[in-house]
Amino acid sequence: MPHRLRSYLDRQRTQLEEYLNLLTMQEEIILHGDIDTLERYMWLERTMIENLEALGKVIRPLRDLFPSVTAPDLTHLHRRVSEQHAHNRTLLSQRVEELSRRIQDVNVPRRARSVYRADQSGSMLNVIT
Protein backbone atom coordinates (compact mmCIF):
# COMPACT_ATOMS: atom_id res chain seq x y z
CA MET A 1 0.00 0.00 0.00
CA PRO A 2 2.85 2.50 0.57
CA HIS A 3 3.75 2.11 -3.10
CA ARG A 4 0.24 3.28 -3.99
CA LEU A 5 0.69 6.37 -1.82
CA ARG A 6 4.05 7.02 -3.45
CA SER A 7 2.48 6.79 -6.94
CA TYR A 8 -0.27 9.22 -5.87
CA LEU A 9 2.36 11.61 -4.53
CA ASP A 10 4.25 11.37 -7.82
CA ARG A 11 1.05 12.13 -9.69
CA GLN A 12 0.42 15.09 -7.39
CA ARG A 13 3.95 16.38 -8.04
CA THR A 14 3.38 16.15 -11.79
CA GLN A 15 0.05 17.95 -11.54
CA LEU A 16 1.55 20.68 -9.35
CA GLU A 17 4.39 21.18 -11.84
CA GLU A 18 1.86 21.48 -14.67
CA TYR A 19 -0.20 23.91 -12.60
CA LEU A 20 2.88 26.02 -11.85
CA ASN A 21 3.70 26.07 -15.56
CA LEU A 22 0.13 27.19 -16.32
CA LEU A 23 0.36 29.94 -13.69
CA THR A 24 3.62 31.16 -15.22
CA MET A 25 2.04 31.32 -18.68
CA GLN A 26 -1.03 32.96 -17.17
CA GLU A 27 1.19 35.73 -15.76
CA GLU A 28 2.34 36.59 -19.30
CA ILE A 29 -1.26 36.60 -20.51
CA ILE A 30 -2.30 38.94 -17.69
CA LEU A 31 0.52 41.33 -18.56
CA HIS A 32 0.39 41.22 -22.34
CA GLY A 33 -2.49 39.08 -23.56
CA ASP A 34 -6.08 39.47 -24.46
CA ILE A 35 -9.12 38.76 -22.33
CA ASP A 36 -10.28 35.70 -24.31
CA THR A 37 -6.96 33.92 -23.86
CA LEU A 38 -6.94 34.82 -20.17
CA GLU A 39 -10.44 33.39 -19.81
CA ARG A 40 -9.31 30.08 -21.35
CA TYR A 41 -6.34 29.93 -18.99
CA MET A 42 -8.58 30.62 -16.00
CA TRP A 43 -10.90 27.80 -17.09
CA LEU A 44 -7.88 25.49 -17.33
CA GLU A 45 -6.78 26.66 -13.89
CA ARG A 46 -10.16 25.78 -12.37
CA THR A 47 -9.98 22.33 -13.95
CA MET A 48 -6.46 21.74 -12.62
CA ILE A 49 -7.45 22.86 -9.14
CA GLU A 50 -10.42 20.48 -9.15
CA ASN A 51 -8.12 17.61 -10.19
CA LEU A 52 -5.59 18.49 -7.47
CA GLU A 53 -8.33 18.66 -4.83
CA ALA A 54 -9.71 15.27 -5.90
CA LEU A 55 -6.24 13.74 -5.71
CA GLY A 56 -5.70 15.35 -2.30
CA LYS A 57 -8.85 13.66 -1.02
CA VAL A 58 -7.34 10.30 -1.95
CA ILE A 59 -3.88 11.10 -0.54
CA ARG A 60 -4.94 12.44 2.89
CA PRO A 61 -6.25 9.16 4.33
CA LEU A 62 -3.27 7.23 2.93
CA ARG A 63 -0.86 9.71 4.53
CA ASP A 64 -2.59 9.12 7.86
CA LEU A 65 -2.07 5.38 7.42
CA PHE A 66 1.55 5.69 6.27
CA PRO A 67 3.13 8.77 7.88
CA SER A 68 6.63 7.49 7.12
CA VAL A 69 6.11 7.96 3.37
CA THR A 70 7.14 11.54 2.67
CA ALA A 71 7.64 13.79 -0.31
CA PRO A 72 9.68 16.80 0.87
CA ASP A 73 9.86 18.41 -2.57
CA LEU A 74 6.05 18.70 -2.59
CA THR A 75 6.17 21.23 0.23
CA HIS A 76 8.51 23.42 -1.80
CA LEU A 77 6.36 22.98 -4.90
CA HIS A 78 3.19 23.88 -2.94
CA ARG A 79 4.89 27.06 -1.74
CA ARG A 80 5.98 28.05 -5.26
CA VAL A 81 2.47 27.45 -6.59
CA SER A 82 0.95 29.55 -3.78
CA GLU A 83 3.40 32.39 -4.39
CA GLN A 84 2.80 32.41 -8.16
CA HIS A 85 -0.97 32.24 -7.63
CA ALA A 86 -0.87 35.22 -5.24
CA HIS A 87 1.37 37.12 -7.67
CA ASN A 88 -1.06 36.48 -10.55
CA ARG A 89 -4.03 37.63 -8.46
CA THR A 90 -2.20 40.86 -7.62
CA LEU A 91 -1.35 41.44 -11.29
CA LEU A 92 -4.92 40.68 -12.30
CA SER A 93 -6.40 43.15 -9.81
CA GLN A 94 -3.92 45.81 -11.00
CA ARG A 95 -4.91 45.15 -14.61
CA VAL A 96 -8.61 45.43 -13.75
CA GLU A 97 -7.97 48.76 -11.99
CA GLU A 98 -5.98 50.00 -14.98
CA LEU A 99 -8.74 49.05 -17.40
CA SER A 100 -11.36 50.67 -15.16
CA ARG A 101 -9.38 53.91 -15.15
CA ARG A 102 -9.02 53.79 -18.92
CA ILE A 103 -12.77 53.29 -19.32
CA GLN A 104 -13.49 56.21 -17.00
CA ASP A 105 -11.03 58.38 -18.90
CA VAL A 106 -12.91 57.89 -22.14
CA ASN A 107 -14.62 61.24 -22.60
CA VAL A 108 -17.95 60.81 -24.35
CA PRO A 109 -19.63 64.20 -24.67
CA ARG A 110 -23.17 64.36 -23.38
CA ARG A 111 -25.84 64.67 -26.01
CA ALA A 112 -23.39 63.58 -28.60
CA ARG A 113 -25.05 63.05 -31.89
CA SER A 114 -25.09 59.47 -33.02
CA VAL A 115 -23.86 58.71 -36.51
CA TYR A 116 -26.80 56.31 -36.84
CA ARG A 117 -29.46 58.81 -35.92
CA ALA A 118 -31.49 60.28 -38.74
CA ASP A 119 -31.38 64.03 -39.12
CA GLN A 120 -34.50 65.21 -37.33
CA SER A 121 -35.60 68.57 -36.25
CA GLY A 122 -37.65 69.11 -33.14
CA SER A 123 -41.30 70.02 -33.36
CA MET A 124 -44.09 70.78 -30.94
CA LEU A 125 -47.06 68.55 -30.66
CA ASN A 126 -50.39 70.18 -29.97
CA VAL A 127 -52.25 67.94 -27.53
CA ILE A 128 -55.13 70.37 -26.97
CA THR A 129 -57.86 69.95 -29.56
- Which bin fits 93, alpha (ψ -120 to 50), beta or left (φ > 0)? alpha
Q: Is 85 exposed, middle or buried (0-12, 13-18, 19+ CB in 10 A)?
A: middle
The CA distances from residue 32 to 27, 28, 48, 62, 100, in Å, are 9, 6, 23, 43, 17
For residue 90, is pLDDT > 90?
yes
pLDDT of 113 strictly over 90: no
Number of structural domains found in the chain: 1
Inside any domain, residue 114: no
**Reported confidence tier of residue 100, pLDDT bands at 50, 70, 90:** confident
36 located within any domain: yes
pLDDT digits (tens, 9 = 90+) for 114-126: 666 665 665 666 6
More confident residue, 49 or 71: 49
Give the domain range for residue 55: 2-105
Q: Are 17 and 77 in contact (CB under 8 A)?
A: yes
Q: Quick one: pLDDT at residue 51? A: 96
Whether residue 127 is predicted with pLDDT greater than 90 in this model: the reply is no
Task: Check residue 117 and report its DSSP letter.
Answer: S
pTM, two decimals, is 0.75
Question: What is the spatial distance between Cα 56 and Cα 8, in angstroms, rounded to a whole number?
Answer: 9
pLDDT band at 102 (very low <50, low <70, confident <90, very high): confident
- Residue 80 is predicted with a pLDDT of 96
Q: What is the mean pLDDT of residues 70-75?
A: 84
The whole-number pLDDT of residue 106 equals 79
Question: Taking 80 as the threshold, does the pLDDT of residue 79 lie above it?
Answer: yes
What single-letter DSSP state applies at residue 22? H
